């Protein structure tokens, strides 16, 4: 299933995408999923970020080739940090650069959307607490990241976390191709099989630290090939089995 959030006639809804038509989910996606019988054509609605998380948990340095291009040793355990959920925007929304002078980079990432309250979940049980997966772009002000020696400010500016276009509930997250294109040119081209820590272990690790609630999002690190963006760019994240997230830069 593809779960969406959308706006129609100025009202926000949850929905289910089915053959380019959207059916409303009056009770949302975190319990029994019961769509309405009436459907709207996809072109008649505006897709929003498919989730509004209470927490946005991020994993750094989680691809082997990205660690090598960064000249860093592979971590022994996931490196966690938090970003502001207010940074999230949806498909088609603009990434607004905080500076014209600093190096601000794209990072294609797979995002996990939590579906059930989770604490101390084992890797074997991890799939049972997942609603689904979506595409993300972990936009990062690299100059501020180096200056601050941590990630919160550099990655939490409003609009710095595009997510979407929908939540795919039926996906093997650990064997999918992941690419990022800048103005149609491929900049990142990898597979989630290159992850150092697979998604099930990430959920086990994060839930051993904090309780995860329905709608929380974990972004799982970026492959090699990160690079700078400039105003006017079109940035596209593609993950096989999910779809395409496209945003412009201004």
Query: How many other CB atoms sit within 10 Å of the CB of residue 175?
Result: 12
User: Which residues, 6+ apart, have CB-to-CB distance to 192 below 8 Å?
Assistant: 110, 173, 174, 175, 176, 177, 178, 199, 220, 239
Q: Tell me: domain 2-47, CATH 2.30.30, correct?
A: yes
What gap in Å lies between CA 144 and CA 51, rounded to an integer?
A: 27
For the chain of 250 residues, list the mean pLDDT of each consecutive stretch of 10: 97 96 96 94 98 97 89 92 98 97 97 98 98 98 96 98 98 97 98 97 98 98 97 98 98
Query: If DSSP codes are grouped into helix, strand and coil, which group holds residue 103?
Result: coil
- pLDDT attached to residue 71: 85
- Bridge partners, residue 15, by sequence: 4, 24
CA distances from 107 to 33, 165, 174 (A): 32, 16, 18
> Does 56-249 carry CATH code 3.40.605.10?
no
Please report the pLDDT score of residue 65 as a whole number.
87
Q: What tokens were used for 223?
A: 């492959």
User: Structure pTM?
Assistant: 0.97
Chain segment 70-108, per-residue pLDDT in tens: 888 899 999 999 999 999 999 999 999 999 899 999 999
Q: Where in the chain is the domain with CATH 2.30.30?
A: 2-47
CA distance 146 to 151: 9
Mean pLDDT, the chain, integer: 97
Dihedral sign for Cα atoms in the order 236, 239, 245, 249: negative
- Residue 70: its pLDDT value, please? 82
Residues of the chain within CATH 3.90.850.10 domain(s) are: 56-249
- Taking residue 75's Cβ as centre, other Cβ atoms within 10 Å add up to 14
Exposure letters 14-45 (e unless 16+ CB within 10 A, then b): bbbbeeebbbbbeeebbeeeebeeebbebeeb
CA nearest to 84, candidates 13, 160, 149:
160
């Amino acid at each position: 299933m593809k779960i969406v959030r959308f706006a129609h006639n100025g009202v926000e809804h949850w929905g289910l995408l089915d053959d380019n038509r959207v059916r409303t989910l009056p009770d949302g996606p975190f319990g029994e999923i019961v769509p309405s019988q009436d459907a709207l054509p996809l072109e008649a609605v505006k897709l929003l970020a498919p989730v509004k998380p209470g927490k946005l948990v991020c994993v750094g340095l989680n691809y082997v080739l990205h660690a090598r291009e960064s000249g860093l040793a592979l971590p022994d355990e996931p490196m966690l940090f938090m970003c502001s959920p207010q940074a999230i925007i949806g498909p088609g929304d603009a990434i607004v650069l905080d500076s014209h002078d600093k190096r601000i980079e794209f990072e294609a990432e797979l995002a996990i959307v939590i579906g059930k309250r989770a604490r101390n979940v084992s890797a074997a049980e991890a799939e049972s607490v997942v609603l689904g997966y979506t595409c993300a772009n972990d936009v990062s002000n690299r100059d501020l990241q180096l200056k601050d020696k941590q990630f919160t400010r550099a990655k939490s500016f409003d609009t710095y976390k595009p997510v979407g276009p929908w939540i795919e509930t039926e996906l093997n997250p650990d064997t999918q191709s992941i690419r990022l294109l800048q103005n149609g040119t491929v900049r990142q081209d990898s597979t989630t099989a290159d992850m150092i820590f697979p998604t099930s272990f990430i959920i086990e690790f994060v839930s051993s630290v904090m309780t995860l609630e329905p709608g929380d999002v974990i972004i799982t690190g970026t492959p090699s090939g990160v690079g700078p963006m400039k105003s006017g760019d079109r940035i596209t994240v593609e993950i096989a089995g999910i779809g395409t997230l496209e945003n412009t830069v201004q």
